[in-house]
Structure 1
Amino acid sequence: MNTILITLIAISAILYLIFAIYYENKIYKFIWKPGTMILIIILAITESGLSTTFSYWVLSALVFSLIGDIFLMLREKWFIHGLVSFLIAHILYIVGFIVSFSFTFSFNIFLLVVALILLAVILLAVILYFYLFPNVRKEGGKKLLFAVAFYIIIITTMVSLAIMTGTKILIAAAFLFFVSDAILAVNKFKVRFRLADYFVMSTYFTAQLLFAISIGGQ
């Protein structure tokens, strides 16, 4: 594991949290947000050597996430473009899971636990959607409602498949991504709170870092 590169990623993420968020500096935001993702992409390449099919899917997802980050840093009119970019990233993760893992289980305690966790994730996603529903409809109408609903379905599918792989690092990465997006959505459409950006970006960077590290063992 490239500890030097991981350390640089951690430093870059911390610099973003301090200078871009705390000091609300747009220049630092444009430097450290994509900069951190670029370092994570480099880590993904060096960790895997792109020697597996899964590594290519993860790398592609990371690149689309980077594109989504850039769109979300721009004006509000680019929000939907960022949403679509992250939607594609989640789909790429989904395809990566499907082509790289076997999901055949015999009925046992592990399968029961997985089923319960999956139900909990799906229930959480449904609650989140209906919690956001009135404000999303007010802000963007039926089109935005559909886009948000579809996005929640896709990210929930991604988390569910990550859980079904039984790989701890992938489960942690997918769940943190879900948490990051959920906080972002609540902060944007429902209740704005000061610490939201810290929670969103810390869980997001950690999730993407774990995805990058995970392909080293595939």
Structure 2
Amino acid sequence: MVRNLVLTAIIVMGIVYIFFIPADPVGFKILMKLIPMALIILFALMTRPLFSRTYKRIIIGGLFVCMIADGVIYWFLPGLITFFIGHIFYIFAFRHGAKKPMPIWVAAPLLLYGAGMAIWVAGSQFSAGQTVLGIAIIAYIGVILTMGWMAIRTRMTLAIIGALLFIFSDSVLAIDRFVLEIPYRDAFVMVTYYAAQVFIAASIGSRVVKYSVNRNNLIR
């Protein structure tokens, strides 16, 4: 019951931040941005781990790092680096739940998507002479796609949805910042970002699905 109230508070405060908080003063906007993340951490703490307590601890660590990143993202590179660290937490958490290998072709869509984003977004920075930024973007694409792949390997539906939403959110942000303006960017980015974190937090209560790889049934 209390956990459901916290989830409701996350939704309400997320809507308030996204649609009703003005850009200025910046300090107040940052504070309001952090409240939904603090509530998501509380939601994660209240979620009973059905898979692993270690998984829960690492996920909560990732949520905390991402909350810090939300506060420093207004300074782009520090925010990028902090989110990078947050994704490393998620990679280790999902790796903890990925017990068996999967066919490499399952990763093909992520690899193609990553290559396309690298060529389009990072390529625009290389063309503009921003070599360091272009390299940083490629590194970030690499870590977030690794996070997505590790989530897929867990076969936990909530973790996979969360990871894919995170990839979508960061993609919209990157395209808008470096390539072309996207209408209603803030709404697209923050709705999918908060949803991603909620799904990842909720995955603490998931069970790892056992599966096998063989010639007749590649994924069971």
Per the alignment, do residues 139 and 15 of structure 1 end up closer, same or farther by CA in structure 2, a change over 3 Å counting?
Answer: farther
User: Cα distance, 1:139 vs. partner?
Assistant: 5.9
TM-score by length of 2: 0.85
2:188 to 178, 199, 203: 199
**Other-structure match for 2:143:** 154
CA contact (8 A) 1:16 1:28 kept: no
TM-score by length of 1: 0.86
1:85 and 2:74 correspond: no
**Other-structure match for 1:13:** 14
User: Cα distance, 1:136 vs. partner?
Assistant: 2.1
**Other-structure match for 1:216:** 205
SS of equivalent residue, structure 2 residue 99: coil
User: Cα distance, 1:49 vs. partner?
Assistant: 7.1
Alignment of 1:12-161 (within 5 A): 12-20=13-21, 23-25=22-24, 26=26, 29-48=29-48, 52-72=53-73, 74=74, 78-104=75-101, 111=103, 115-137=104-126, 141-161=130-150
Which residues of structure 1 form unaligned runs of 5+? 106-110
User: Cα distance, 1:140 vs. partner?
Assistant: 6.8
Which residues of structure 2 form unaligned runs of 5+? 208-220
Read off the aligned partner of 2:82 and give its amino acid letter: S
Read off the aligned partner of 1:16 and give its amino acid letter: Y
Query: In 2, distance between residues paired with 1:69 and 1:138?
Result: 29
Query: In 2, distance between residues paired with 1:134 and 1:118?
Result: 23
**Other-structure match for 1:108:** none
Equivalent pairs, count: 204
Per the alignment, do residues 191 and 45 of structure 1 end up closer, same or farther by CA in structure 2, a change over 3 Å counting?
Answer: same
User: Cα distance, 1:48 vs. partner?
Assistant: 3.5
Per the alignment, do residues 80 and 138 of structure 1 end up closer, same or farther by CA in structure 2, a change over 3 Å counting?
Answer: farther
Q: Percent identity?
A: 31
User: Cα distance, 1:101 vs. partner?
Assistant: 3.0
Query: In 1, distance between residues paired with 2:42 and 2:157?
Result: 22
Structure (1 or 2) with the greater helix fraction: 1
1:168 and 2:169 correspond: no
User: Cα distance, 1:64 vs. partner?
Assistant: 0.8
Query: In 1, distance between residues paired with 2:194 and 2:159?
Result: 14
Query: In 2, distance between residues paired with 1:65 and 1:206?
Result: 13
SS of equivalent residue, structure 2 residue 47: helix
Query: In 2, distance between residues paired with 1:134 and 1:162?
Result: 27
User: Cα distance, 1:102 vs. partner?
Assistant: 0.3
User: Cα distance, 1:19 vs. partner?
Assistant: 1.2
Per the alignment, do residues 27 and 126 of structure 1 end up closer, same or farther by CA in structure 2, a change over 3 Å counting?
Answer: same
User: Cα distance, 1:100 vs. partner?
Assistant: 3.2
1:185 and 2:174 correspond: yes
User: Cα distance, 1:137 vs. partner?
Assistant: 2.7
Query: In 2, distance between residues paired with 1:140 and 1:88?
Result: 26
**Other-structure match for 2:213:** none
CA contact (8 A) 1:53 1:100 kept: no
CA contact (8 A) 1:176 1:207 kept: yes
Read off the aligned partner of 1:97 and give its amino acid letter: F
CA distances 1:145-187 after superposition (whole Å, capped 9, x unpaired) = 1111111011101101111111111110000000000000001
